[in-house]
Chains A and B, each alone.
Chain A
Amino acid sequence: MPVIIRVSNLTKDFGAHIKAVDGLSFTVTEGQVYGFLGQNGAGKSTTIRMLLTLIRPDSGDIEIFGLHLLKHRNEILKKIGAIIEKPDMYKYLTAMENLRIFATMSGVKLSEKKLLDQLAMVGLAERANSKVKTYSQGMKQRLGIAIALVHDPELIILDEPTNGLDPQGIADVRNLILHLSKERKKTLLVSSHLLNEMEMIADSMLIIDKGKKVVEGRTDELLNPEKIQVEIITDNKSRTLDILKDSKWSGSLMNTANGSIVLEIQKTNIPELNRMLVEQNVNIFSLKPKHTLEDFFLSVTGT
């Protein structure tokens, strides 16, 4: 797959003692949803701002679409759509007016119908002519996504795109990202603190801490699906425990505190475990994998 973003030894200091990004290198290939993870202040937004030429790196190189970013700035930015942190736009203008302004700034002139279609895609068609100051945070976030996509960019950079959205809004953004990736073959770089969301959408990911790369790789490989923790909640915990202690998973019991039971088993054994408990007339309220990206993230960042 062609490399879309290649970042090499990127460094940025803010003053003598604040190293925002420290020798960061990574690559994003075409068609990927690339998750960009890190705690607040880890350097995610600074890195994204350097990718968009908002901040000048102290050292290091950025190539996008095979071109040097600073030498081919306008050529590259024409093919990028971005949300940068919170969605800010002209509050005294309508959604339609905002969209038209940013489309023109991106070098495209779209008809009213096309603009309306863009707003319909994020569920804002009915409020197209309302001033943005009357919008909720979630609506502003969706308008921000429409603005990022208005010129049909090849690379989409979304910095915390689900901020301020309700659960339905988060699911909508997730589906939109998957649609853009799978159906429209876009490349996406997505930073988020909602790790479970990232787990559902990212093909690959990079975790950074204090401006440095902690780990980079394919999401499924990083999560190590062969070894998984499963949390079980049933109507009778003590009886369930007795059953498990008499089973082949007795050695897999990890934690029986609170109301749940946690086992570490092979992922492929989950259906068998479920079947055995049902056959023993145990009413299962919940059986879910616990080895999520969040656990992984916390373990690699040492928090």
Chain B
Amino acid sequence: MLQLLKIELYKIFKRPRTFIAFGVITAIILLVQIAMKFGGDEYVGLVMSGLSAAFDAPAQQVLNGYFVCFIILNLLLIHVPILVALIAGDMISGEANMGTLRLLAAKPVSRTKLLAVKFAATSVYTILLLVWVAILSLFLSITLFGTNQLFVARGLEVNIISASDILWRYIAAFVFAAVGLLTVASLAFMFSTFADNSIGPIVACVCVIIVFTILTQLQIPFYDETIKPWLFTTHMLGWKGFFYVEGSEGITVQGSIENLPAVIKSGLILLTYIVIFLFIASWHFKRKNILS
């Protein structure tokens, strides 16, 4: 199994297209960091101006590595799934398109095992991409901007989290984001088993993400109670729950999470999606006539 996983990873990381996502992420993060370095005070002033007058912190205190990382994650964790779909949507269909799927499927490896190894490789790629996001957005931001309290805006209010209470929240947020990205990866992967070219599964996955994201952001009460609670895009934002803390009048409780059950529920719904998508992929792939 490990040998097969190594082969799959070798194939993924020998393709130049694999590194497009890493390049795009690097460019976006560096652009945000450059902007914050040279115009961060102005940006912070803009953000804080809309908040309660009670929070009158100097921009230098607000602008730090944790704050920049939070901004970057808000930007990226909506768009990284599209980059994940580029690889996950190609895993089976790309082999069919190249004509190598028939060679693989005629080898003494069961189709279930082949699928499992390919999804494991997709997961490794997804997690490596997220680790790269973490290195650049968190650790490089800390290096460039230092550490301090984290100011998290929530409507007209602000949660202020002390510097010593932040790092574990980021680690938890990245783990949660990994589950969210694996949900997208499993969706693209499932589509991949149905097609003989890469474009179809990637486009289908991106379309689902766009439609679900639009529905998630629609402020219509009818959808709030019927559709939104079941969309995976709604729950992919659950990582923010680690930065919503208990407290009042600006004083927050160290180590607290305002609504831990909601965060756990979101995580479980995402895991359920992964199981469903992989089950459909496996059921279909085992019965598929390989004609390509």
Pick from A53, A92, A101, A104: contact of B106, CB under 8 Å: A53
In the complex, the answer to whether A88 meets B103 with C-beta atoms within 8 Å is yes
* Complex: A272 Cα to B10 Cα, angstroms: 66
Q: Complex Cα distance A76/B290, Å?
A: 19
Interface segment out of the listed B94-102, B181-189, B263-271 = B94-102
Is B291 among interface residues, defined by CB-CB distance under 8 A? yes
Is chain A's interface secondary structure helix, strand, loop, or mixed overall? loop
Cβ of B291 and Cβ of A55 under 8 Å apart? Answer: yes
Interface size class of B (residues with CB under 8 A): 20 to 34
With contacts A53-B106, A54-B105, A75-B108 taken as known, whether A101 is within 8 angstroms of B11 at the C-beta atoms is yes
Q: B99: shortest Cβ distance to chain A, in Å? A: 3
Whole-angstrom distance between the Cβ of B35 and the nearest chain A Cβ: 36
Given known pairs A74-B109, A74-B110, the reply for A101 and B7 (CB within 8 Å) is yes
Stretch in contact with the other chain, from A77-85, A116-124, A190-198, A294-302: A77-85
**Known A74-B108, A84-B102, A106-B108: A54·B289 in contact at CB below 8 Å:** yes
B99 touches A88 (CB 8 A): yes
B154 lies within 8 A of chain A by Cβ: no
Q: Does the CB pair B107–A102 fall under 8 Å?
A: yes
How close is B237's CB to chain A, nearest CB, in angstroms? 37
Chain A residues closer than 8 Å to B106, beta-carbon distance: 52-54, 77, 80, 82, 84
Residues on the B chain within 8 Å of A185, using CB: none
Q: Which residues of A contact B109 (CB under 8 A)?
A: 74, 105
Known A-B contacts A49-B290, A54-B289, A93-B14; A106 and B107 likewise in contact (beta carbons under 8 Å)? yes
Chain A residues closer than 8 Å to B102, beta-carbon distance: 49, 52, 54, 84-85, 88
B162 to chain A, nearest CB (A): 50
Chain A's nearest CB lies how many Å from the CB of B215?
Answer: 37
**Chain B residues closer than 8 Å to A104, beta-carbon distance:** 3-4, 7
Q: Which residues of the partner chain A approach B290 to less than 8 Å between Cβ atoms?
A: 49, 54-55
- Residues on B with C-beta less than 8 A from A92 are 14-16
Instruction: Name B179-206 residues within 8 Å CB distance of A.
Output: none
B107 touches A91 (CB 8 A): no
**B104 close to chain A: CB less than 8 A:** yes
When C-beta atoms are compared, the residue in chain B nearest to A48 turns out to be B106
**A107 contacts the other chain (CB 8 A):** yes
For A56, the chain B residues whose CB sits under 8 A away are 287, 289
Chain A residues with Cβ below 8 Å from B291 are: 49, 54-55
Distance from B167 Cβ to chain A, minimum over Cβ atoms (Å): 40
User: Does A86 touch B at the CB level, under 8 Å?
Assistant: yes
| Contact between chains at A84 and B103 (CB < 8 Å) | yes
The answer to whether A7 has its CB under 8 Å from any CB of chain B is no
Given the interface pairs A93-B14, A104-B7, the reply to whether A77 lies near B103 with Cβ below 8 Å is no
A147 CA to B103 CA, complexed, in Å: 10
Indicate if the CB atoms of B98 and A105 lie closer than 8 Å: no
Assess whether A90 is in contact with B11, with CB atoms less than 8 Å apart: yes
- Interface: A73 (CB within 8 A): yes
Find chain B residues with CB under 8 A from A105 CB.
4, 7, 104, 107, 109
Instruction: Report the separation of the CA atoms of residues A92 and B16 in the bound assembly, to the nearest whole angstrom.
Output: 9
A282 at the A/B interface (Cβ < 8 Å)?
no
CA separation between A73 and B286, bound complex, in Å?
13
Residue A233 lies at the interface, judged by CB distance under 8 Å to chain B = no
Are B103 and A102 neighbours in the complex by a CB distance under 8 Å? Answer: yes
Closest to B98 in A: A88
CB-based nearest A residue for B6: A104
**CA A49 – CA B99 in complex, angstroms?**
13
| A53-112 interface with B by 8 A CB criterion | 53-56, 73-78, 80, 82, 84-86, 88-93, 97, 101-102, 104-107, 109
A92 to B13, CA, bound (A): 11
Min C-beta distance of A95 to chain B, whole Å: 14
A53 to B4, CA, bound (A): 20
Contacts of A78 in B (CB 8 A): 108
B15 contact set on A, CB distance < 8 A = 92
Contact yes or no, A55 B289, CB < 8 A: yes
Do the beta carbons of B100 and A89 come within 8 Å of each other? yes
Q: What are the 5 A-B residue pairs with the smallest beta carbon separation, nearest first?
A: A88-B99, A74-B108, A52-B106, A77-B108, A54-B290
| Known A49-B102, A73-B108, A88-B99; 12 more pairs at CB < 8 Å | A52-B105, A53-B105, A54-B105, A54-B106, A73-B110, A74-B109, A77-B107, A82-B106, A85-B102, A97-B14, A105-B107, A147-B103
